[in-house]
Chains A and B, each alone.
With several copies, the nearest count.
Chain A
Amino acid sequence: MTEALTGEDRVALFARMLLMRRFEEMIIHVAQDNTDIGRNHLYIGHEATGAAVAQVLQPGDLAHTTHRNHGHLIARGADPGKALAEIMGRAGGLNQGRGGTWHLTDREAGFRSTSAMVGGSIGLSIGSGYALRELGTDNVAVAFFGDGVLDEGISYEALNFASQYDLPVLFVCENNEREGAHETSRLAASRLTDVPRALGIEVATVDGHDADAVAARTAELLVTVRGGRPVFLESQLERWPGSHQVKPEFVTGVTDLSHAWDPAAISGEHAGWIRDFDPILRFARTLLDDGTASREEIAAIDARTIETMAAARAFAEASPYPDPEAAAHDVFAERSAADA
């Protein structure tokens, strides 16, 4: 299980990351054309983390995510058409239009409930970990969350609980906070990992722009988690310059994969982020450099991905809005005689 990823795995991992990126770019396109999709928190720049973790998880592992969930869902196999339809509030969406961007949920892909409350995912993950253990499975729970979650007391309670009761939970903190900027968190600890460490949890830190590194480290850590101890992984990320926008904008432009082999062509205000921190371009470069994939193969993956997105958008746009009647459905799984 901790064996290194094969070349094939790595190409699949790249394809997964690209799918996540093209999906978010599609959201920006839709937002530009459509005012009804609300406030989106895109996963751009985080792809290496979500994709690599997804790559080394096993079927049956349960994951919990946050307001910034699109990438996690797509990474674990949620249908992009249904995901987009959900973000557009359509009946054909993953959640039948009830959830929207903040709550994408796909049971098949291992997501039972997606909370947009800061601290939501980490709390629920304790329940998943407990249930998976009590049901005698070999599966684990994963909590994805941002650095801001460490501000909430429930994160501390969750870490303490998992440590106390040896729950099989992998905590994945995607830290996109700039040193001292206090954009999404205000933690007095000098490092995020000081908190789980104080609670007796094994911690690890990884460069979140490096897909290989995330995959390798996560695979290693999962051995411990499957063995019955929680682990805390901090993925260190440079914040995507677009991530503070209320309405997503193409601040870094549509990703141009040729920048992987032609960095000199990168330009604009955010050239630095694109060159140094875009995990997709970085992984493409690595795959090219170590001969795992050719430019043509990469271009072909991209072409297929772009086709997938076109089909997804066509599906979503053709999906109707939910029937107003549906507004009162599924409040309960079981209705009683007393329900109107």
Chain B
Amino acid sequence: MPRKSYAQAMLDAILAAFESDPTTRVIGPSFAQGRGAPETQEAFFKTYGARIMQPPISEGVTAALGAGAAMAGLRPFVNFGTSTFAFEAWNQIVNEAANAHFMSGGQVTVPVIYHMFAGIRGGGGVQHSQSPQSMYANCPGLKLVLPASPADIQGLIATAFRSPDPTVIINHTKLMGLEGDVPEGDVAIPFGQAEVKREGADVTLVATSLMVQRALDAADQLAGDGVKAEVVDPRTIVPLDRETIIASAAKTGRLVVVDEAAATCSIAAEIIASVAEAGVALTAPPVRVTRPDTPVGFSPALERAAEPNVEGIAGAIRRVMG
């Protein structure tokens, strides 16, 4: 399998969609945040310039354009840059794009992709470090994708470009440089299928996005102490593969959930609640590891304090191991 960076895999997936489907468009082309694969990006611009549009700084109408164009037969990949910029388009995403298929009685489909970078990225400060995934997860009608590896981003973007539904893809800025193996050929990864990224019998770690990498590191660290952690990556939050998560928790009897968004009403809460509702008898109370309910300060010291890290995850594992 070829090895490539997350940024490269992302561009390759967009490129492949552009090659096979003439209705694809990119709206907002600064989609690698200067973080990778510049040659591919340049080649992409050269080949497909006419299908790429740089909108004004008008996120509201840009999101509406994406939804409207999707209804009218295009497949736009709308890139907002930092996820908070899309807050200017909240109504267009959660109240237009998300609802149109249902509201029209199924007459229209809205195959638009809304892509954004999120998370504590290093110096982003209070207004550029958010992780809005749970807000989107609470909006019916949007599919929600959090790719955690080069293979995932390539395979999930491939699926997003074939999906008839509006899809929000949230990429963690810090993942852009991550290297990994990516299968060749048709790599589409179906939505709603969690991946067990590491098997283990003692404790289930459910993690999303960058936190999958942190959870894997924590699992490595704990392996030295003889703790066998299983790492489950849901990959898509909507639809959510509760079955795989619940089965893993039932197997290990211990649950730690790691997500970078603020704690209250987070994906971490959702997963813990789903396992509890399923009646899984856990050996120890589940633990969530998230950003606390605080904005993220600019200072590196404050970022470090807010960001879920390997030590925190390892600590949570130790806690549930008793």
In the complex, the chain A residue whose C-beta lies closest to that of B91 is A117
Q: Is B115 among interface residues, defined by CB-CB distance under 8 A?
A: no
Could you say which residues of chain B place their CB within 8 Å of the CB of A182? 54
In the complex, the answer to whether A128 meets B299 with C-beta atoms within 8 Å is: no
Interface string of A128-144 (1 = CB under 8 A from B): 10111011000001000
In the complex, the answer to whether A152 meets B102 with C-beta atoms within 8 Å is: no
Could you say which residues of chain A place their CB within 8 Å of the CB of B190? 336-337
In the complex, the answer to whether A336 meets B60 with C-beta atoms within 8 Å is: no
In the complex, the answer to whether B127 meets A321 with C-beta atoms within 8 Å is: no
Please give the distance in Å from B104's CB to the nearest CB on chain A.
Answer: 4
Q: Is B1 among interface residues, defined by CB-CB distance under 8 A?
A: no
Residue with the greatest number of chain A CB neighbours at <10 A, chosen from B34, B57, B122, B240: B57
Please give the distance in Å from B304's CB to the nearest CB on chain A.
Answer: 7
In the complex, the chain A residue whose C-beta lies closest to that of B34 is A246
Interface string of A90-103 (1 = CB under 8 A from B): 11011111111111
Q: Is A196 among interface residues, defined by CB-CB distance under 8 A?
A: no
Could you say which residues of chain B place their CB within 8 Å of the CB of A102? 125, 127-128, 298
Query: Contacts A128-B68, A135-B23, A327-B305 known; A98 to B95 CB distance under 8 Å?
Result: no
Interface string of B165-205 (1 = CB under 8 A from A): 10000000000000000000000001111000000000000
Please give the distance in Å from A16's CB to the nearest CB on chain B.
Answer: 23
In the complex, the chain B residue whose C-beta lies closest to that of A334 is B164
In the complex, the answer to whether A127 meets B71 with C-beta atoms within 8 Å is: yes
In the complex, the answer to whether A89 meets B300 with C-beta atoms within 8 Å is: yes
Q: For chain A, residues 290 to 340, give those with C-beta under 8 angstroms from any C-beta of chain B.
A: 321-334, 336-339
In the complex, the answer to whether B242 meets A153 with C-beta atoms within 8 Å is: no
In the complex, the chain A residue whose C-beta lies closest to that of B50 is A134
Query: Contacts A99-B105, A117-B84, A131-B73 known; A125 to B165 CB distance under 8 Å?
Result: no
Query: Contacts A97-B302, A98-B102, A322-B301 known; A185 to B23 CB distance under 8 Å?
Result: no
Q: Is A226 among interface residues, defined by CB-CB distance under 8 A?
A: no
Query: Contacts A127-B70, A131-B72, A135-B23 known; A103 to B103 CB distance under 8 Å?
Result: yes
Q: Bound state CA distance, A125 and B54, in angstroms?
A: 18
In the complex, the chain B residue whose C-beta lies closest to that of A186 is B56
Q: Is A274 among interface residues, defined by CB-CB distance under 8 A?
A: no
Query: Contacts A62-B72, A334-B163 known; A113 to B104 CB distance under 8 Å?
Result: yes
Q: Bound state CA distance, A148 and B73, in angstroms?
A: 29
In the complex, the answer to whether A333 meets B65 with C-beta atoms within 8 Å is: no
In the complex, the answer to whether B191 meets A103 with C-beta atoms within 8 Å is: no
In the complex, the answer to whether B301 meets A113 with C-beta atoms within 8 Å is: no
In the complex, the answer to whether A328 meets B292 with C-beta atoms within 8 Å is: yes
Q: Is B295 among interface residues, defined by CB-CB distance under 8 A?
A: yes
Residue with the greatest number of chain B CB neighbours at <10 A, chosen from A149, A323, A328: A328
The one of B57, B109, B240 in contact with A148, judged by C-beta atoms closer than 8 angstroms, is B57
In the complex, the answer to whether A338 meets B242 with C-beta atoms within 8 Å is: yes
Q: Is A273 among interface residues, defined by CB-CB distance under 8 A?
A: no
In the complex, the answer to whether A126 meets B300 with C-beta atoms within 8 Å is: no
Could you say which residues of chain B place their CB within 8 Å of the CB of A328? 292, 294, 305
Interface residues on chain A, number (Cβ under 8 Å): 80
In the complex, the answer to whether A321 meets B125 with C-beta atoms within 8 Å is: no
Q: How many A-B residue pairs have CB under 8 A?
A: 280
Please give the distance in Å from B146's CB to the nearest CB on chain A.
Answer: 14
Q: Is B113 among interface residues, defined by CB-CB distance under 8 A?
A: no
In the complex, the chain A residue whose C-beta lies closest to that of B106 is A330
In the complex, the answer to whether A339 meets B239 with C-beta atoms within 8 Å is: yes
Could you say which residues of chain A place their CB within 8 Å of the CB of B63? 123
In the complex, the answer to whether A90 meets B299 with C-beta atoms within 8 Å is: yes
Please give the distance in Å from A94's CB to the nearest CB on chain B.
Answer: 7
In the complex, the answer to whether B64 meets A123 with C-beta atoms within 8 Å is: yes
Could you say which residues of chain B place their CB within 8 Å of the CB of A148? 57
Q: For chain B, residues 21 to 76, give those with C-beta under 8 angstroms from any C-beta of chain A.
A: 23, 25, 34, 51, 53-74, 76
In the complex, the answer to whether A117 meets B299 with C-beta atoms within 8 Å is: no
Q: For chain A, residues 60 to 78, give those with C-beta under 8 angstroms from any C-beta of chain B.
A: 62, 64
Could you say which residues of chain B place their CB within 8 Å of the CB of A241? none
In the complex, the answer to whether A126 meets B64 with C-beta atoms within 8 Å is: yes
The one of B54, B71, B126, B301 in contact with A124, judged by C-beta atoms closer than 8 angstroms, is B71
Please give the distance in Å from B90's CB to the nearest CB on chain A.
Answer: 11
In the complex, the chain A residue whose C-beta lies closest to that of B243 is A338
Could you say which residues of chain A place their CB within 8 Å of the CB of B163? 334
Query: Contacts A100-B125, A152-B88 known; A94 to B105 CB distance under 8 Å?
Result: yes
In the complex, the answer to whether A332 meets B69 with C-beta atoms within 8 Å is: no
In the complex, the answer to whether A321 meets B299 with C-beta atoms within 8 Å is: yes
In the complex, the answer to whether A36 meets B192 with C-beta atoms within 8 Å is: no
In the complex, the answer to whether B242 meets A161 with C-beta atoms within 8 Å is: no
Please give the distance in Å from B248's CB to the nearest CB on chain A.
Answer: 15
Please give the distance in Å from A255's CB to the nearest CB on chain B.
Answer: 26
Residue with the greatest number of chain A CB neighbours at <10 A, chosen from B126, B141, B164, B302: B302
Could you say which residues of chain A place their CB within 8 Å of the CB of B294? 327-328, 331
A-B contact pairs, 24 of them (CB 8 A): A95-B104, A96-B106, A97-B105, A98-B295, A100-B123, A100-B298, A100-B299, A113-B71, A117-B85, A126-B68, A127-B68, A127-B76, A152-B88, A153-B61, A154-B60, A161-B62, A184-B57, A185-B56, A186-B54, A187-B56, A246-B34, A321-B301, A327-B292, A328-B292
- Kindly list 16 other residue pairs between chains A and B, CB separation below 8 angstroms, not including A39-B123, A115-B96, A157-B56: A38-B122, A98-B298, A102-B128, A112-B100, A112-B108, A120-B96, A123-B60, A123-B63, A127-B68, A130-B69, A131-B71, A184-B57, A322-B299, A332-B164, A334-B165, A338-B241
